[in-house]
Amino acid sequence: MRTDIETAAESVLDFLKGIPMSASTVKYYRSCYRTISRYCQCNGIDHFSDGDAENFRKFQIDRHERGEIGWIYALTLRKAAVMLADFMSGKELVWERRN
C-alpha cells in the first residue's frame, strides 16, 4: 500500500512531466523522492511539512559534508523536498530557482 508521501511524490512527478521535463530529469527526481520516502519511513513522518523539508535539507548537507553525496545532488534533494512539502500543504507547484 502506498503512503500519502509516495502518492504526493507521484503528483509532483506528474507536474514535472507537464512542464515538460525530459524523461531523464523526471527519472532523477523519482530517485530523489525514493530517498525522501526512505527518510520519512526512518523518521516516522506521515505528512511531509515545511519543517520536515528543512530538517531533510540539513540532513543532506551533513551527508555532503561527510563526503557521502555531491553538492548538486544535495541541492536537487532540497528542491525535491520543498516541492513535496509545498504540494502536501496545498500550495500551488511552481518551477523556480531557489536560493
Please give the domain boundaries of the chain with CATH numbers for all domains. 4-88 (1.10.150)
Q: What is the pLDDT along the chain (99 residues), one digit of tens a residue?
A: 467 999 999 999 999 999 988 999 999 999 999 999 999 999 999 999 999 999 999 999 999 999 999 999 999 999 999 999 999 999 999 887 766
The cell for 78 is 532540497
The pTM of this model reads 0.92
The cell for 27 is 527519472
Q: Is 59 helix (H, G, I), strand (E, B) or coil?
A: helix
Host H or E run for residue 33: helix 23-43
Of the candidates 66, 64, 72, 77, the residue with the CA atom closest to the CA atom of residue 36: 77
- Predicted confidence at residue 2, as pLDDT, reads 64
